[in-house]
Amino acid sequence: MRFFDKASQDPRWAGAMNAVALVFFCAFVLGPLFYIFSQIGHFTFNDGMRNAIIASFSIGLAVTLVDLAFGIPLAWLLAKKKFPLKGVLDAIVDLPLIVPTSALGLSITLFWGTGGLGLFEPGIAAIIVLHIAFTFSYVVRTTQAAIMEVDSDLARAAGTLGASPLTSFRTLWLPLVRAGALSGAVLAFTRSLGETGATMIAAGTLRTVPILTVYYKNATPADIDAAISLSAVFLLLSAALFLLVRSKLNVKRATLGRVYADAEKRLSSYGWLSDGVALAFLLGIVLLPSFWFLRFTNFDFFAARTIDAILVSFGVAAAATLLTIAFGLPLALLITDKRKYSWLLRLLVELGMVMPTVTIGLSLSLFWAGKLDEVFVLVFAHVAMIYPFFVSPVAEILSETDENLVQVARSLGAKPFYAFRTVVLPIIWPTVIAGTVVAFMKSVSETGGTLAVSKNIETIPLLIVNLTKNGQQAEAASAAVLLLAVSLVFVMVLRGSQRKKP
């Protein structure tokens, strides 16, 4: 450490680190991601593609609206109210995120279909409830964080000025947490647009953009031009929408409209109703369907094929996550360095979130075709997919950290690297761990992109998809149980180290 502390005074050291981070980003993330567009032979566009795009955006919009409608009240409940078992409730909100998406797809179609309520079969409704299950916690978590950041004296002030609870919620909280809720909504929307693996299970005959892309890729003969054209149009549309919403996020000014004081006061006393509905939504629509597959297990959790797949999945995820941390942290630092082009860098990182995973997989398999062993391609594909989910939050927390702290450390004689590891790292540590958890879990449960890359390797989500295709639901459910158990242990270990700062 001493050696690095001292070496960090040499400006060439920082330059070299930036260069390595940039080269890695371009060669292993950005390049392979966009390689696909250089492979186009001729552009095609047909009605099927148009319908798929309309279906994808409609589903994304519906999912996001439902997430917001039920997520904001739930976030409010978690952030502001005290009640028994709140800690438990707070912990289980993200549970659907650790269910591999393919198992989630299976579980939810079973719950709503013949394996459960029998309300609807695979189709657009199934896709919507499926996407809600894995996007709901994004909206809840970002809104909850935004609510907790608001000075609670503001609500007290509104109270002393005569505002009823509903009035102050409407005129204060909503505008103040808007940015937070919307950033969660953007995340939910893009995830809904890009999800491939689970959607395939829930879609029935409906074709969303990722599903149509898989179809073109698997068609005989493969229609790669159509797949690329569709991906290009879709990426452009999603990116444009993403940019538009982001530019609207930071409007910091609002005006007061009319307040219907009596009605709002009367409605305020029905707060328990909104709490109840939000809770019922979480338990009945999000959690219960997500874990419905547990009913179908045959209790053969340790089948040899499952163990092999688990080992492969965790090996790939560990390698991909370590690479992401090693090269993502310097890039996050570079992004927040207030350089001229850092906004562009940030945008390029975040574009990876908008891309459908199947497109990423396709692009990477084309990029690395014949150059690397399949397992390495798989690792790099996962790096490309999880990279933004680690870099983006770390860059965010870095930009919020007070620069003076580093200046103070330097003025007290700390070398740059020493200042980084003793001052900056402890501050951003919880976010680094949170980003690591998200990245790792995404890698473990990723289905769509892996499907596009792997030919002989079977990760556990692929195993679940394959078993489901063969009608072996019990085996698939058992595999999902093992994955869930191992993931839970892993997440708990990581969360534990979130509190222990270095």
Partner 1 sequence: MPNIKVKDVSKYFGRVKALAHVDLEIREGEYVVLLGPSGCGKTTLLKIISGILQPSTGTIHIAGRDMTLLPPEDRDIGFLFQNYALFPHLSALDNAAYGPIARGGNPDKARRVAADMLELVHLKGREGALPRELSGGMQQRLAMARALTTGSKLMFLDEPTNALDAHIRVELRTELRRMAKKLGLTVVHVTHDQEEAMALADKIVIMKNGQVLQVGTPSDVYHKPSSPFVASFLGGANFLRVKFTKGKAMLLGHELRTKLHGEFVAVIRPENLRFSHSGTKVEVISSRSYGPFYRYDVDCDGVRLQIRTTHKYEETDRITFSQKNVLYFKEPEEGLEKSLGIE
Residue numbers at the binding site for partner 1 (CB under 8 A)? 151, 153-154, 156-164, 167-168, 171-172, 175-176, 252-262
How many separate helices (H) and strands (E) can be counted in the chain? Answer: 27, 0
| Minimum CB distance to partner 1, residue 88 (Å) | 22
| Minimum CB distance to partner 1, residue 264 (Å) | 8
Residue 267 or 325 having the CB closest to partner 1: 267
Residue 169 or 418 having the CB closest to partner 1: 169
| Cα(172)–Cα(386) distance, integer angstroms | 35
- Please identify which residue in the block is written with the tokens 């003969």: 221
| Minimum CB distance to partner 1, residue 255 (Å) | 6
- Please identify which residue in the block is written with the tokens 């103040």: 176
Identity of residue 8: S
| Minimum CB distance to partner 1, residue 179 (Å) | 10
| Cα(399)–Cα(397) distance, integer angstroms | 5
Contacts of 404 (CB under 8 A, 6+ apart): none
Which of these, 160, 178, 208, lies nearest to 48 by C-alpha position?
208
Residue 205 or 250 having the CB closest to partner 1: 250
| Cα(320)–Cα(28) distance, integer angstroms | 11
256: tokens are: 């007061």
Question: Do the beta carbons of residue 181 and residue 223 sit within 8 Å?
Answer: no
| Cα(270)–Cα(451) distance, integer angstroms | 48
Residue 205 or 247 having the CB closest to partner 1: 247
Residue 119 or 251 having the CB closest to partner 1: 251
Helix ranges (DSSP H) in 150-219: 152-160, 165-168, 174-194, 197-203, 209-218
CB-based burial, 268-284: b 16+ in 10 Å, e otherwise: eeebeebbeebbebbee
Identity of residue 119: L
| Minimum CB distance to partner 1, residue 156 (Å) | 5
| Cα(442)–Cα(317) distance, integer angstroms | 8
How far is CA 387 from each of CA 61, 350, 375, 423, rounded to the nearest angstrom? Answer: 25, 9, 18, 24
Residue 158 or 477 having the CB closest to partner 1: 158
| Minimum CB distance to partner 1, residue 83 (Å) | 17
Residue 174 or 240 having the CB closest to partner 1: 174
| Minimum CB distance to partner 1, residue 269 (Å) | 11
| Minimum CB distance to partner 1, residue 166 (Å) | 11
How far is CA 372 from each of CA 38, 274, 309, rounded to the nearest angstrom? Answer: 20, 54, 21
| Minimum CB distance to partner 1, residue 147 (Å) | 14
Residue 244 or 256 having the CB closest to partner 1: 256
| Cα(426)–Cα(180) distance, integer angstroms | 24
Residue 117 or 157 having the CB closest to partner 1: 157
